[in-house]
Chain A
Amino acid sequence: MTVAAASERDVTVAARPRRPFRWSRLLLHGTILLLIVIWLLPTIGLFINSIRTPVDVARTGWWNAFLPPWNFTIDNYSQVLAKNGIAQAFVNSLLITIPATIIPIAVGSFAAYAFSWMQFRGRDWVFVILVALLVIPLQTTFVPLLTILGPKGIHLLGAGPGAFVAVWLAHTGYGLPFAIFLLTGYMRGLPKEIFESAEIDGAGHASMFFRLAIPMSIPVIAALAIFQFLFVWNDLLVALMFIGAQNAANLPLTIAIANLSTSLGGDWQLLMAAAFISMALPLIVFFALQRYFVRGITGGAVKG
């Protein structure tokens, strides 16, 4: 199928030069190129400025950096990492993100298996509620959760290590609807025959889950892991709620950078370096695993 489609495409591409509309092709390439440039320039500008000297950044636009004398530096990076708490924030972001990625996948995969391979009354209703929860605004959960987890309740929030536990569990709760939805959509599509013959051979649900469902679902688990990782790494709102903007020791990168942008008052090259540090990991993940990421998006939105 794919081979046939590819060869058809080759034929049309090869046939194209004979078409009379050369101008329209030029317009097509021009438009795409323009869009690409518009999309890239802001990020390139930030990166260039983050490796320029403070004086240059304040005096001229980043595009002047291409003219001699070339005067690049990595001082901004070393300074912002050491003095502005960005190194600590990077570690914090990792500490927040890794558990908040693993836990929802673990919890969600058991539920997804049950939704896919067990018949029970009320299953469809529970799943419909899950679909509804997919779009619930997180804002509607904050006030009660702050009461339960905050100083008036079990006091998990703020400066102590407990705040991380609150953030992990909250991200698990918030991420679960999408996790279960995506995993169930995939697990339901696994070949029925394999599960049936395993059942005939006397395998229980636990062994079918660990030996069949999980190994066969690795692609979608990868997609989900990337998704959840990026979501938590890039999250500002949940962290603001459960950690707060002022507890310096616990701040993730997003809050630390948002704070820098109001407190620096000048020295913008430091803010730019900090922003780029926060993007480095997502960009690596994105370029290395783009295919899974795209699959997660299309699988979550278009399919059931």
Chain B
Amino acid sequence: MDTRLVVAIVIVVGLPALLIGYILLIEAVLRLLPGRWQNRLRPWLWIAPALSFLGFFLVYPTINTVVLSLQDKFSKTFVGLANYQYFFSNPDTLVSLRNNVIWIVLLTALAVGVGLLIAVLVDRVRYEPAAKSVIFLPLAISFVGAGIIWRFVYDYAPAGEPQTGLLNAAVTAAGFPPQTWLQDSPTNTIALIIVAVWIWTGFCMVILSAALKGISPELMEAARVDGANEVQVFRRITFPLLLPAVAVVATTMVITALKAFDIVYVMTSGNFQTNVVANQMYKELFTNGQPGRASAIAVVLLVLIVPVMFINIRRFRQQEAIR
């Protein structure tokens, strides 16, 4: 039998059993202690397994990465900020940085914008659940799968030959020459972002739609009775009330754009000026054998995400205050 299957079964059964045993054990030990110590120690013992995973897989590596980013490619000698200097001066890496900026702007604007549009539109029809399912569907598919799907939408054949790609078939039917969508920079980056929009619009739509259902219908009805048209109702009432939810999905999209990797890896491998920061890091690490430079790129990503972290913490604190 496959060793991996045996290991999998052992882990799937063993690890939860181990955890349960651990909890029962600490509870038995705690019972021997005086009440004050019980209450002090118990919570920490209960969260200890989770904290060790978080510490080992997230906290320690992150701190270590900051240190490694200041070292050479053998992770031995400190080289100061040389890795960062390289990242911010090399034309190739600068292209990836530029592309991530395009990703952030376009993905956020399009996914949130279209998601909001769909959420508002389907709210008015009876087949809302079915329509939402369709828009939401791509989120269940892997980015690899989505990349393959769209590679064939963008497929190119020379002019005069039959076009097998949907987009070029439409373009040539309209009388224009076929385009090499994935090779012409900078529009090829936009073509990749469209794939991400296709995936993430459903996510934005679901959250915005949930927020929309939370708005009291009387508010809108009152405005309509006062003679406001649908556009005015949306601009003056619906949209302002949706802003918190818009902020949530927008920050999520910014993070998604910063971390963009799979789509680029599958569709262009970062060629034709479509590289992004996460893909550049992968190349530095595995193709170029430069863990120091790769770490520096990771730190740049982290620094860019830190503001979002603080926004999330502030939002979380506000919700806790309401609770």
A interface vs B, CB < 8 Å?
8, 13, 24, 28-29, 31-32, 35-36, 39-43, 45-46, 49, 57-63, 92, 95, 98-99, 102-103, 106-108, 110-111, 113-115, 118-120, 123-124, 126, 128, 130-147, 161, 164-165, 168-170, 172-174, 176-177, 180, 188, 204-206, 209, 230, 233-237, 240, 250, 253-254, 257-258, 261-262, 268, 271-272, 275, 278-279, 282-283, 285-287, 290, 293-294, 297-298, 301-304
B12 CB-CB contact with A under 8 Å: yes
Question: In whole angstroms, how far apart are the Cα atoms of A31 and B122 in the complex?
Answer: 10
For B320, the closest partner residue in chain A by CB is A304
CB atoms of A298 and B210 under 8 A apart: yes
Interface size on B, residues (CB 8 A): 113
List 24 A-B pairs, Cβ < 8 Å: A24-B230, A39-B198, A45-B149, A59-B162, A60-B162, A61-B166, A62-B166, A63-B166, A111-B51, A119-B39, A120-B39, A136-B58, A146-B291, A165-B11, A173-B56, A174-B58, A176-B54, A205-B42, A236-B144, A236-B262, A258-B266, A271-B148, A282-B141, A297-B207
- What's the Cα separation between A254 and B147 when bound, in Å? 11
What separation, in Å, do the CA atoms of A57 and B207 have in the docked complex?
39
Given A42-B149, A131-B312; A111-B65 close (CB under 8 Å): no
A261 to B60, CA, bound (A): 36
Known interface pairs A42-B150, A106-B19, A261-B266. Does A234 touch B61 (Cβ–Cβ under 8 Å)? no
Could you tell me if B131 and A36 are in contact, using CB atoms closer than 8 angstroms? yes
Cβ-defined contact, B75 with A60, below 8 A: no
Known pairs A164-B7, A302-B207; A283 contacts B141 (CB<8 A): yes
Q: Shortest beta-carbon distance, B272 to chain A, in Å?
A: 15
Q: Using a CB-CB cutoff of 8 Å, which residues 146-174 of chain B contact chain A?
A: 147-153, 162-166, 169
Q: Report Cα–Cα, A13/B126, bound state, in Å.
A: 9
Residues of B within 8 A of A (CB): 2-5, 7-8, 11-12, 15-16, 19, 23-24, 27, 31, 39-40, 42-44, 46-47, 49-51, 53-54, 56-62, 64-65, 68, 75, 114, 118, 121-122, 124-126, 131, 133-138, 140-145, 147-153, 162-166, 169, 198, 203, 206-207, 210-211, 217, 230, 245, 248-249, 252, 255, 258-259, 261-262, 265-266, 269, 278, 281-282, 285, 291, 294-295, 297-299, 301-302, 305, 308-309, 312-313, 316-317, 319-320, 323
